[in-house]
Amino acid sequence: MSEKVVSDYNGYDYKKEFWENVDREYEDQADRMAIRKLLPKRMEKFADIGGGYGRLAGEYLKRAHKVIIFDYSKTELEQAKEMYGDKIETRAGDIYKLPFKDNELDGLMMIRVTHHLKHMDKAMAELYRVLKPGGVAVIEVANKRTLPKIARYITGKSKVNPFDKKVANYKEISKDGFYNYHPKYVEDIFLKTGFSTEKVLSVSNFRSKTLKKVFKTDNLVKMEDKAQSALAPIRFAPSIYYKLRKPEE
């Protein structure tokens, strides 16, 4: 992440601590569902940007001839290599100075990364640079305009205004910054960068401990499948997924 690392996962077992030791099966399935809907079925060279230990590799390994997992954390990349071996290549580095050539990739995705990005515009410019003309980028954005955040603002429990386009930095979550974005803010960045938006999905619509207890994961996943497209126009989910394309030259 460059200039100042927002979250350094080196030495931290993200796989175990964040995913395996906590009930996030619904969130995992919601991510996978969205990726299957948005990623191209065939790609020559693909990169999972901020892909960590390769949690979502099962969704793209069969779609791409060559797969690269990029991350800042060498700890996570070592885990990915242990899990997938020669099926993947790993590259470590700075998201603001990606270790890829211009127009190198046919496709890429960046999931659960934007909340670590202080400079969304710089990151998107790098993704645009490394993608081939006609290539597809699937980007997940941490949304500041969710229903719970709107409720907390209206009732005075939060001073963060979910309706304005200002980037929200939740320092109570992380002292170095934990960023959420208004959909219009990031969509303006996509447009200025040069991307065209082909599809939008509303993801993790039912992310709630209470809903998990009442409906159970299997039922929530079924509801999620229908909600991702239906609720996309209102952009109220915790995660908003975008299918972007770099125009042909």
pLDDT value at position 2?
45
CATH of domain 14-234: 3.40.50.150
CA angle 60-62-64, nearest 5°? 70
Res. 1 pLDDT band, cuts 50 70 90 = very low
Across 9-23, 66-80, 131-145, 149-163, least confident range: 9-23
CA distance 172 to 198: 35
pLDDT band at 11 (very low <50, low <70, confident <90, very high): low
Asked if 203 and 140 touch (Cβ cutoff 8 Å), the reply is yes
Q: Answer for the pair 165, 185: CB distance below 8 angstroms, yes or no.
A: yes
Residue 125, pLDDT above cutoff 50: yes
Distance between CA 128 and CA 205 in Å, rounded?
28
Domain spans of the chain? 14-234
Per mean pLDDT, which range of 23-27, 160-164, 230-234 is the poorest?
Answer: 23-27
End-to-end CA distance of the chain: 30
Q: What is the pLDDT of residue 22?
A: 73
Q: Is it the case that residue 3 has pLDDT exceeding 90?
A: no
* pLDDT over 90 (residue 176): no
